[in-house]
Amino acid sequence: MIMDQSVIQLLSDRVLDLQESATIKMSQMARDLREQGHNVISLSLGEPDFDTPDHIKEAAKKALDDGYTKYTPVPGLMEFRQAISRKFKRENELDYAPSQIVVSNGAKQSIANLSLSLLNPGDEVIIFAPYWVSYFEIVRLAGGVPVILSAGIDQDFKVLPEQLKGAITDKTKLVLFSSPCNPSGSVYSKEELFALADELEAHEQIHVLSDEIYEHINFSGKHASIGAHPGIKDRVVTINGMSKGFSMTGWRLGYMGAPQWIADACAKIQGQFTSGATSFGQKAAAEALDGDLGPTKEMCAAFAKRRELVIDLLSEVPGVKCNKPQGAFYVFPDISAYFGKTINGFTIQNSDDFCTYLLQEAHVAVVAGSAFGADECFRLSYAASEAELRDAIGRIKKALTA
């Protein structure tokens, strides 16, 4: 559809200045191509390909039958917040009382609530790169100034304490990162997290947003939370959700544990935007947190197996440099060896060109590293069947060696 420019100008500066989510855009492009009759393999969206475990679905059905069909308190059903509080204590050594929990329509909304609650125009937010696409735009939408701290493949995509120290200014308000990381799959150990926290301890104006949504997809052993550091624990907002570990992306349930004053502010914002999250979903999610983690562990084991397969297959593609991620379900290979090259008459200057070429030539959708603040890479989600992964990487190899 061709847009009339005079109409476009009626849009707010806010939305005109906003970038579309690259992950969502790429998966839509794959869907469109498919609808045109092409055989497209989409490894673009970060979404587990498993169904929600049965016991969680059963709990939601029961909640519906029991009449959980009404508005819920804005920060969430008390029994879900109690289950989250217990989970934080039991699994993460974190002390957030139920009153310090805010349940939202996905962790994405939790991040938006926090940014809108905390940031004034000009406040600096240190974001570790590669970063998840939406961090950058949500921070900007809230008036914050993203300050990007980059870590490349040679440092396993992990930011070092001295880098963090060098980026702190009087205007720094927030530090934002995910572990396990989307897009790199890197996992920070407890020692690494605490070394970062040590750098923040003296700066009382700085808060941390620790996004732990991939907690359960961790191949390195125990998950660690920066909020357990005694020197900064009262300044850490821990975000998590049901989407990844329980394969509940469509249920739209995320949550945060936060200092009380931040939790109250986030509930105030949410009370004007969306109110409480889905009633029967929260009942089922409470059971999921308290219940059997067996299906979650099975999914994690399946991802671990696919990771081996993907790394193995990619090692046979020339010019693709891949590390061994310890979590999430992504690989983030460095493909800068292709920049400046022409293949099949198509010149590749950056990661966007690289991904456009793969979509057009191989009908494989992956996401350009530029969207994650690392133009030398691309992200491949291996939340897909082994057959699809073999087919897709075979096609990628063929297209690149043409």
| Residues in contact with ligand GLU by the rule CB under 6 A | 21, 23-24, 45-47, 132-134, 182
What is the C-alpha to C-alpha distance for residues 27 and 336, in angstroms, rounded to an integer?
23
Which amino acid is it at 134?
Answer: S
Residue 24 interface partner, choices ligand GLU, ligand PMP, none, CB cut-off 5-8 Å depending on type? ligand GLU
Q: Quote the radius of gyration of the chain (alpha carbons, Å).
A: 21
Residue 178 interface partner, choices ligand GLU, ligand PMP, none, CB cut-off 5-8 Å depending on type? ligand PMP
What is the C-alpha to C-alpha distance for residues 247 and 233, in angstroms, rounded to an integer?
29
Task: Tell me the window of 79-87, 102-110, 293-301, 384-392 that interacts with ligand PMP (CB under 6 A).
Answer: 102-110
E runs forming strands in 279-393: 330-331, 341-343, 346-348, 364-365, 367-368, 378-381
Interface map 138-157 toward ligand PMP (x if CB under 6 A): --------------------
User: 31 or 397, CB closer to ligand PMP?
Assistant: 31
Shortest distance, position 37 Cβ to ligand PMP, whole Å = 29
Shortest distance, position 57 Cβ to ligand PMP, whole Å = 18
Asked if 332 touches ligand PMP (CB under 6 A), the answer is: no
Q: Are the CB atoms for 53 and 298 separated by under 8 Å?
A: no
Which amino acid is it at 286?
Answer: A
Shortest distance, position 86 Cβ to ligand GLU, whole Å = 26
- Residue from 81, 87, 108, 379 in contact with ligand PMP (CB under 6 A): 108
Give the β-pairing of 41-42 and 364-365.
parallel
Q: Are the CB atoms for 283 and 242 separated by under 8 Å?
A: no
User: 83 or 253, CB closer to ligand GLU?
Assistant: 253
User: 211 or 375, CB closer to ligand PMP?
Assistant: 211
Task: Give Cα 309 distance to the centre of its chain.
Answer: 23
Partnered with residue 327 across adjacent β-strands are: 218
Distances (CA, A) of 402 to 196, 281, 360, 361: 45, 49, 14, 10
Residue 254 interface partner, choices ligand PMP, ligand GLU, none, CB cut-off 5-8 Å depending on type? ligand PMP
Taking residue 35's Cβ as centre, other Cβ atoms within 10 Å add up to 9
Residue 396 interface partner, choices ligand PMP, ligand GLU, none, CB cut-off 5-8 Å depending on type? none
Taking residue 91's Cβ as centre, other Cβ atoms within 10 Å add up to 17
Residue 21 interface partner, choices ligand GLU, ligand PMP, none, CB cut-off 5-8 Å depending on type? ligand GLU
* Residue ranges that bind ligand PMP, judged by CB under 6 A: 46, 106-108, 132, 178, 182, 211, 213, 241, 243, 249, 254
